[in-house]
A and B are shown apart, each in its own frame.
Chain A
Amino acid sequence: MLQLKNISKRFGRHFALHSVNLKVERGEIHGIAGINGSGKSTLLNILFGNPLIAETGGYGGEIILQGKSRRIKSPQSAIAMGFGMVHQEPAVVHEMTVAENITITREPVFPHSEKYFGRDFAPIDNRKSHKKAQEALGMFGVALAPRCLAGQLPLNMRQFIEIAREISRDDLKVLLLDEPTAVLNGSDSALLLRTLKNLARKGVTILYVSHRLDEFFALCDNLTVLRNGAVSGHFQRDGFSRKAITKCMIGGSVILSRKKANLTCRETILSLQKFSVSMPGESIEDLDLDIQKGEILGITSLSGHGKMAVGPGIMGLYPVLGKMLIKGRQAERHDTAAMIGKGLFMLPEDRRQLGLLQDHGVAENIVFSAMHCAHRFLRRFPCLPLHFPDKKQINRYALECVAAFAISCTGIAQKVRELSGGNQQKVCLAKAMTMEPEILIVNEPTRGIDLGAKERILDMFIAMNTTKGTTLVIASGELDELRRICDRIAVLYKGRLFAILAPDTAESVFIQAMSGEMAKV
């Protein structure tokens, strides 16, 4: 039915998928497992023609559907071929009604009107459309008023609307599901799995992406495991084993902890109490977390479960609720300037968009924050209240930094845009070091960076922590790295603190904690 040959996808220099091969039969439910960043969502995005793929240079390899080689350029073309997709975040338009969402692009029209007015201009028969929507929802026993606005419904209902939209299609051949149960509770998930089995019996092929092993056991005929963008294992129904699959997902590598965990109780430097951050797509609710002076605290979670929101929340970039005590005292103002004044600094995950001025030189980027927040590197114009950057001082300092951080650039005036990811991150680090913060928060420090540079950057963190005593908070999905450098690792689940684990805890425990399944261990 569906065959993938050597599917590859590159984002810049970074391979998200590397020659993935897959074969799925008609009516088969095929699971795709993998941890964060293993490339499973990218694979589905390619199959569904997500515009993101085309915008970033398309994909390599061949997709064969029913024996014919196909090129998927847009969701439209994917849908025309018979693909359907249920997204992690439902593609349901909030301001439209349930029925409008379910029947969109294939609304029932009045009889014969299509002949006279054409596809686009045939008037819609609203009564029939409501009926169609109700039937689709009824397929898995959900009753919703078709006139209700989708945005007023809870997230799980919106997910059902999306599923109803896809399964009500007559021409559906392959259904792609990207972690559909992330927003569903236990009974809703069971309902979904039952519906999917029925669908498969009717001959629809299903590709099911998840990180929950239980669901694969309950649902799938076959399972493919991805790791670092490549297929790392293939299992058939009778060969499913929790241990083998988990090992396949996280890899068998043995990691040596570089830094000795240092868990002696020290004073709390920053305390979050009932701390909520409303960051779109990655929010935190009622987080209680104490950060101790001089430690390296790792924060990890699956994407969407809040690890990325801790830093921006602390820096006051998004609206927050709850208390935040810095050295036991609540700050009067909670905005970025005030936090920087209190000795906090953050390096964002999105270096290109947030961390650097791409069109400015290396030197300008390194001293920028120090110049604007700490009024350093400035020279006053005689007799006028004008401050100019002190070029001489800046250049001298920048040259020192370039040497100290081993930033490879043609000169301190080279535009940051032209540097590699690793060197850009080094510039960011140099910028942060210049600020001499007491607490440095870093989001995804090694994303999109090649191996060699990764090591150096991790070394720098350790050096910063041991020589200067900087408290580091590192939010990352790269568990290996966190385990190597952190003293403690906080695992978040659904925006709340799920567990604080020592770095030498078994990896499988981390994986289970991240999926909220700790109780079973």
Chain B
Amino acid sequence: MKRRLGIQLPQLVILVFLVSMLGLAFRLDISLTSLLGDALVRLVMNGVLVLSLVPMLNAGIGINYGLPVAITAGLLGLCLAVNFKITGLPGFAAAVLFAVPLATILGYGYARILNCVQGREEITATFIGFSFVPLMNYFWAVAPFSNPAMLWPIGGKGMRPTIGLRDYFSKELNTLWSFHLFGITVPAGLLLFFALCCLAVGIFFKTRTGVAMIALGENEAFAKLSGMNISRLRILAVILSTILGAVGICVYAQSYGFIELYDAPQMMAFPAASAILVGGSAGKKTTLLHVILGTFLFQTTYVISGPIANALMVPEVAEIFRMMITNGIILYALVHEGKRTREKYAAS
């Protein structure tokens, strides 16, 4: 048996990339401490979204490329909170509270569809996500919200593509209990929130239902033979993923300071997928360590590559490199997993 965290190609690539970036940043006199603070923020900002992939992965449904469905539920929650003009931390809490029931409903429908396409969940989820985005665009364009801060300034109909949260609950969690340590801003409240989310997921997978879900993901035929209700477990996993995704986008939006509507959610599933794969979850039980490590490594490259590319005068490079890394890692994981299944067949 290999060690549990044996370094594989994706981690290696990302580490090499990270180290060379850090070296470059050092030479270009970019403040490393501020980068580290940013990295911590980005860890949580995206961490909950990445965490949301865990239930579906562990139930054997695969990577939730249909993340836009969950994000939509979260965006609706955010918009409702802004519409009722709830500010500060209560605003954020309200957004989450609005989002959860919506995510449950959407997640249930999404799960029912995924239950029909067993074995091809990932590709179907991708296109459910892709087609859900224009459907929601339609909704955003005619949504009956009334807060003028969210509507087009001219005409007053239809939502703006980006809604500023400065007057509502922008960076509420980021600044909560944050303190400075050796020049690094430590967003303690934000980190605590993430830790709580992780803890909740961790505890869930220790319960009877959670254990059953992991067993289902490991061996569906076994689960069936043990008399478990497979479709119910799968639906539960998808709903959990969707709820976490909705909470994830709420955290993301408050941290970013803007709600991004319309086409923004379309590609959000891929960086999240890539992050969890970098963490080392490819083809086996995904743990919280994979989530945290993966998100941290992946997002730190984001944080560092931006200022460097700007300093080098070709600002597009950063984005292109990120895309390349994102998709390269997913492809590597797919090929690697294909090799593993082959070997598994050979062994039996």
Contact = CB atoms under 8 A, between A and B. Distances in A.
Do A and B actually bind? yes
Interface of A: 12, 55-57, 315, 317, 335-341, 346, 348, 352-360, 364, 368-369, 371-373, 378, 381, 386-389, 415, 418
B85 interface: no
Contacts of B284: 359
13 contacts: A55-B345, A55-B346, A317-B225, A336-B226, A354-B221, A356-B219, A358-B218, A360-B215, A360-B218, A372-B226, A386-B207, A389-B211, A418-B1
Nearest to A335: B227
A511 to B, nearest CB: 30
B322 interface: no
A316 to B, nearest CB: 9
A317 to B, nearest CB: 7
Contacts of B211: 364, 371, 389
Contacts, number: 77
A368 B226 contact: yes
A357 B215 contact: yes
Given A368-B226, A372-B227, A378 B208 contact: yes
Given A55-B345, A358-B218, A373 B207 contact: no
A441 to B, nearest CB: 11
Contact of A336 (B212, B225, B345): B225
Contacts of B206: 388-389
Nearest to A354: B221
Nearest to B208: A387
Nearest to A337: B227
> Which 6 residue pairs of A and B lie closest in terms of their CB atoms, listed nearest first?
A337-B227, A336-B227, A340-B227, A387-B208, A55-B346, A354-B221
A348 B224 CA distance: 12
A353 B345 CA distance: 10
A356 B222 contact: yes
Contacts of B347: 12
B31 interface: no
A357 to B, nearest CB: 6
B332 to A, nearest CB: 22
A372 B207 contact: no
Contacts of A354: 219, 221-222, 225
Interface in B142-200: none
Given A368-B215, A387-B207, A389-B211, A352 B225 contact: no
Given A56-B346, A357-B215, A360-B215, A373 B221 contact: no
A348 B225 contact: yes
A369 to B, nearest CB: 5
B8 interface: no
Contacts of A338: 227
A12 B347 CA distance: 8
Interface string B218-258: 11011011111100000000000000000000000000000
Contacts of A387: 207-209
Contacts of B228: 337, 372
Nearest to A355: B222
Contacts of B209: 387
Contacts of B226: 336, 340, 368-369, 372-373
B225 A315 contact: yes
Contacts of A317: 224-225
Contacts of A356: 219, 222
Interface in B299-348: 342, 345-348
Contact of B218 (A339, A357, A386): A357
B234 to A, nearest CB: 15
Given A337-B228, A356-B222, A372 B212 contact: yes
A339 B228 CA distance: 12
B208 A353 contact: no
Contacts of B225: 315, 317, 336, 346, 348, 354-355
A489 B228 CA distance: 32
B41 to A, nearest CB: 32
B282 to A, nearest CB: 15
Contact of B208 (A339, A388, A418): A388
Contacts of B348: 352-353
Given A368-B215, A371-B211, A386-B207, 10 more contacts: A315-B225, A346-B225, A354-B219, A356-B219, A358-B218, A369-B226, A372-B227, A381-B207, A387-B208, A388-B206
A473 B218 CA distance: 28
A415 B1 CA distance: 10
A452 to B, nearest CB: 23
A372 B222 contact: no
A378 B212 CA distance: 13
A387 to B, nearest CB: 4
Nearest to A373: B227
Nearest to B285: A359
A372 B233 CA distance: 13
A315 B228 CA distance: 13
A282 to B, nearest CB: 16
